[in-house]
Chain A
Amino acid sequence: MTHRSRLAGQIPLLSLIVLCAVTALLTDRFVSPLNLTNILVQSSIMAVIAMGMTFVIVGGGFDLSVGSTAALAGCVAAMVMLEAGITVGVIAGIIAGALVGLANGLVIAFLNVNAFITTLGTMVLVRGIVFLLTGGAPVSGETGLPGEFIAFGSERLFGIHYLVWAPMLLLAMLSFVLQATPYGRRVYATGGGREAAYLSGVPVRRVIASTYVWCGALAGIAGVMLAARLQSGQPTAGEFYELTAIAAVVLGGASLHGGEGTLYKSVIGVFIMIVLGNALNLLNVDSYWQRVAVGAVIIAAAAAERLRSEH
């Protein structure tokens, strides 16, 4: 790596630091322990979704269905949990997410259907299934979801929220998978150049399909976390999460052309999105202006990505 590209690779982190520093200068509330904890908890669920999205984007794909998938997983988990206990419910939710990912992956990799269209389709289709399953009403049973599950959405272990432990452990595990295993190298190779990867013996179709399974399963985990946070399975939850996740992954320096991107940088991208929202709220910026600001940042990030890829 050249000196220049190494520095360019740190743009996401530098942006986050600048953003935090500017906010801290403008309001002393920002660096309070309460607010910093809030930021971690607020980032946790989106971080898990963004990690799954990173797999797909590094593999050269795209997934619009993660928000619907998270809603499905949350509702399935809540419904199963009320009948069969927390563990079975959580597993059922994650499996539901992985199955959506598998369906996406098979259609995209083996039927060669465009990823944008396929996942646009599943985004709508899965949302329909969620409404059919739940009758459109939130799932919380007669007396609410099990107390231990709700505690998972609000309480702490060693001073850190359970909701924050989840992405930390996942980040460590999945970074290993993506950076240090032959499988991980195949994902990068496939996204970097499908033809070349195929010619060098990478089973590109299986690799592509697998990235969607990761994405679906992680959206499933995020959905379960969301249900714990919202103390119910919410059929309307997760709308527009796909857009935030994609924006975060791009903010983290991944290329939408595939083959580039790192999990921890995507998580930094999530922090940028969440800290921006948090800062604007703390500074009492009008909510209409907030939309303008968030949009401007997304475009700026995409522009930075474009400029970087020209070299």
Chain B
Amino acid sequence: MLKPRFAVLAAGLAVAVSLAIPPAASAQEKTTIGVSLAQDDNPFYIAMLRGIRARAQELGWDVATVSANEDKLKQINGVQDLVARGVKGILISPIDAVGVNAAYDAAAAAKIPIVSVARGSSSPNQTIHVAMDEKRIGRDIAEWTAKKLGGKGKVALLMGPSGAPTFKNLGDGYSEVMAKYPEIHIVFRSDGPLTRERGVKQAEDALVAHPDLAAIYTANDDVALGAMQAVNAANRKGKTLVTGMNGVPPALRAVKEENLAMTVELNPVEWGRLGVDVLAAFLKGEKVDPRVFIKHVIIDGTNVDAKLPKT
């Protein structure tokens, strides 16, 4: 009975490997760039990857992706694999500012430029960082919220994963502005992954602890959509404002339906395109600032119609 037994395992491996065959692995002449995003199941990164692929295709480039799913070691390993594969440049959205520095070292050792898009790194080997002006966005969200609340009320903060400077900067900008309003109190603050599930849970907890919560700040639309479910379930729609961040289509629809008070459009597709353009400029030998900023737009009931995806 050895043969069938071996066949089972061999079949498993064969399935795994045969999946690999369709993409053009033989097109050696084309420029290939590598992409390592912090997550591959978050709409923001999915949209960013779409932008990267679209722009790369226009330039006649191939794109090789590796996944990390918020596992730092996996991200380092993935980037090493990209380096071994011989890509010409790497676009990365690092999970945290320190933890994946070994990935930057691996790229630098092979003299491959590595451009951070969205989240950034403290690594001296980071070639360029393409990102939003995080503190300013945090301040803008806070100003908008404070105005809506008439300068008073209890506020909960659902921040991002601990250790990621993006979310710390957003939260710092937000808190900085709110501190100027003596009657606004931040009563709840927590770190966590950018998932809807966590948004529901933590917003529920915040609403149990503070039933008169006036606003919930979230670091990401997915968390916001979760928080919005909890707010609606507690019959607090319109009484507890939920603010999002990123401007993904489901969030835009939620703003239209007045479930979400506002979100910030970052247009991740454009980020992806900009990341590729910055990398292209660098590869051509043009001078690029080590820090490239991306524009942001606040979206609320007043301008959402123009932003909704056309059906």
Which residues on A are within 8 Å of B, measured CB to CB?
4, 7-8, 11, 14-15, 18-19, 22-23, 26-27, 29, 32, 34-35, 38, 41-42, 45, 136-138, 140, 144, 153-154, 226, 229-232, 234-237, 239-240, 274, 276-290, 292-294, 296-297, 299-301, 303-304, 307-308, 311
Contact = CB atoms under 8 A, between A and B. Distances in A.
B66 interface: yes
B72 A282 contact: no
Contacts of A7: 2
A6 B106 CA distance: 41
Nearest to A287: B67
A290 B67 contact: yes
Contacts of A300: 8-9, 11-13
Contact of A22 (B17, B73, B100): B17
Interface stretch (B82-90, B141-149, B218-226, B276-284): B82-90
A284 B23 contact: yes
B2 A304 contact: no
B51 interface: no
Contact of A11 (B1, B6, B81, B85): B6
B153 interface: no
A19 B16 CA distance: 10
Q: At the interface, is chain B mostly helix, strand, loop or mixed?
A: helix
Nearest to B84: A35
B13 to A, nearest CB: 5
Given A34-B84, A284-B25, A287-B67, 5 more contacts: A281-B81, A283-B20, A285-B20, A296-B15, A300-B13
A231 B99 contact: yes
Contacts of B40: 287-288
Contact of A281 (B16, B82, B105, B110): B82
B80 interface: yes
B39 to A, nearest CB: 10
Contacts of A226: 73
Most chain A Cβ neighbours within 10 Å, of B17, B40, B64, B76: B17
Given A138-B163, A140-B98, A281-B85, A23 B17 contact: yes
Residue from B4, B66, B99, B110 whose CB has the most chain A CB atoms within 10 Å = B99
B65 A284 contact: yes
Contacts of A38: 77, 80-81, 83-84
Determine the main DSSP class of A at the interface with B: helix
B84 A236 contact: no
Quick one: which of A42, A226, A229, A287 has the most chain B CB within 10 A? A287
Contacts of B10: 15, 18
A237 B17 contact: no
Contacts of A140: 98
B99 A303 contact: no
A192 B21 CA distance: 43
A234 to B, nearest CB: 5
B82 A232 contact: no
A29 B85 contact: yes
Contacts of A289: 19
Interface string B62-76: 001111001111001
B191 interface: yes
B43 interface: no
Nearest to A34: B84
12 contacts: A8-B2, A15-B9, A23-B17, A26-B20, A34-B110, A138-B162, A230-B73, A231-B102, A236-B163, A284-B20, A285-B20, A297-B12
